[in-house]
């Protein structure tokens, strides 16, 4: 299967679920839009990467380029505006969830061509520059998102592949790094893939995704329950999500299945305290399937697809930093 066919089928396929419209989100354009800076690019262009921040660096994990999944692991140091190579991912893949628990980076699930979704979990220790294989997820998934609450990693949504088919998933699994075990939790109300996750004050927010309804739903691990929040103003999938100063940032993505001209520069910010969205200064590069990481007061948007023409797209190594 070609990468184009895989991307359109898996992320934006005909199995997208229609959801009832619960009214327009509350949104406004902020008087302080912030600004973007172009930083040192990734060593190689790629999309569908996992991004996380650890010990003052931004890590890019795996990804996809042309017809290959990648095992590359690169760390960006803002202090020197430069990248360095790290020990490669043991299992080359893309479209995984990535999160950090207690100083260890976890790469969860993902996609391998001609294999499909995997449940593979591998953990990176920056002190030794080594990877260790951990217990796999119970339900293999790709195009999922990951977040951490109180030392527990949550793997949310994505695609599952029963009998070779592709179906959007509402699955939520919780990983205990101490016990190296996974536990199924309350299902997400809206099954979706290509979503993003952010955690604020112990609540996990699942944002956007290829339900195409703009859903934002909040998971409380203490009660194992979900609540519906204000929808994202620009309905999209393939976005990057990060948390900065208690706000959830939704960056880039694509609003229409397979529409390369629809690749977005938009950045919208959710305030959990008011359940409202505001719009910030757009990214310099419109793109989807990017990764996002936050260090201090800087949000880094890395890699992804960008439009080349009305019917084609390319891979970018761009690393652009947003400052509020």
Q: What is the DSSP letter of 5?
A: H
Predicted confidence at residue 7, as pLDDT, reads 42
Predicted confidence at residue 307, as pLDDT, reads 85
CA distance 21 to 107: 34
pLDDT tens for the chain, residues 1 to 324: 333 334 434 444 432 322 333 334 445 556 689 999 999 999 999 999 999 999 999 999 999 999 899 999 999 999 999 999 999 999 999 999 999 999 999 999 999 999 999 999 999 999 999 999 999 999 999 999 999 999 999 999 999 988 878 899 999 999 999 999 999 999 999 999 999 999 999 999 999 999 888 999 999 999 999 999 999 999 999 999 999 999 999 999 998 775 656 899 999 999 999 999 999 999 999 999 999 999 999 999 999 999 887 678 899 999 999 999
Three-state SS for 262?
Answer: helix
- Look-up of token digits 């969860």: 108
Q: Which domains can be identified in the chain, with CATH numbers?
A: 3-17+29-323 (2.120.10.80)
Q: Which residues pair with 299 in a beta bridge?
A: 294, 322
CA distance 258 to 11: 9
Q: 159, 117 in Cβ contact below 8 A?
A: yes
Three-state SS for 192?
Answer: coil
CA distance 286 to 314: 11
SS3 content of the chain, % helix, strand, coil (to 5): 5, 45, 50
Q: 240, 196 in Cβ contact below 8 A?
A: yes
- Look-up of token digits 């569908």: 48
Residues 6+ apart with CB under 8 A from 179: none
Predicted confidence at residue 225, as pLDDT, reads 98
CA distance 205 to 199: 6
Predicted confidence at residue 29, as pLDDT, reads 58
Q: 11, 3 in Cβ contact below 8 A?
A: no
CA distance 11 to 316: 19
Predicted confidence at residue 28, as pLDDT, reads 57
How many CA atoms are closer than 13 Å to the CA of 315, on its beta-carbon side? 18
In terms of phi and psi (left: phi > 0; alpha: psi -120 to 50; beta: otherwise), the region of 115 is: alpha
Predicted confidence at residue 246, as pLDDT, reads 97
CA distance 274 to 294: 22
Q: 281: which 2 tokens? A: 């200064």
Predicted confidence at residue 258, as pLDDT, reads 58
Predicted confidence at residue 297, as pLDDT, reads 96
């Amino acid at each position: 299967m070609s990468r184009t066919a895989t991307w359109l089928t898996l992320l934006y396929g005909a199995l997208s679920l229609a959801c009832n419209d619960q009214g327009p989100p509350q949104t406004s354009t902020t008087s302080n839009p912030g600004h973007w800076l172009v930083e040192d690019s990734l060593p190689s262009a790629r999309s569908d990467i996992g991004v996380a921040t650890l010990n003052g660096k931004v890590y890019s994990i795996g990804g996809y380029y042309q017809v290959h999944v990648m095992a590359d692991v690169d760390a960006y140091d803002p202090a020197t505006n430069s990248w360095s190579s790290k020990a490669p991912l043991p299992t080359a893949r893309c479209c995984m969830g990535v999160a950090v628990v207690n100083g260890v980076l976890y790469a969860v699930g993902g996609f391998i061509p001609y294999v499909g979704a995997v449940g593979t979990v591998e953990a990176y220790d920056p002190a030794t520059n080594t990877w260790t294989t951990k217990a796999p997820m119970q339900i293999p998934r790709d195009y999922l998102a990951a977040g951490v609450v109180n030392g527990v990693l949550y793997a949310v949504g994505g695609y599952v592949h029963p009998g070779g088919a592709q179906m959007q998933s509402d699955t939520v699994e919780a990983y205990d790094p101490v016990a190296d075990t996974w536990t199924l939790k309350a299902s997400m109300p809206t099954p979706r893939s290509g979503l993003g996750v952010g955690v604020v004050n112990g609540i996990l927010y699942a944002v956007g995704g290829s339900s195409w309804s703009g859903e934002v739903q909040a998971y409380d691990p203490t009660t194992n329950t979900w609540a519906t929040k204000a929808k994202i103003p620009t309905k999209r999938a393939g976005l990057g999500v990060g948390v900065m100063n208690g706000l959830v940032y939704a960056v880039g993505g694509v609003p229409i299945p397979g529409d390369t001209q629809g690749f977005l520069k938009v950045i919208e910010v959710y305030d959990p305290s008011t359940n409202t969205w505001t719009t910030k200064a757009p990214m310099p590069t419109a793109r989807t399937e990017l990764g996002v990481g936050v260090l201090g007061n800087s949000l880094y948007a890395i890699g992804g697809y960008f439009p080349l023409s009305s019917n084609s797209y390319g891979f970018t190594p761009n690393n652009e930093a947003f400052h509020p």
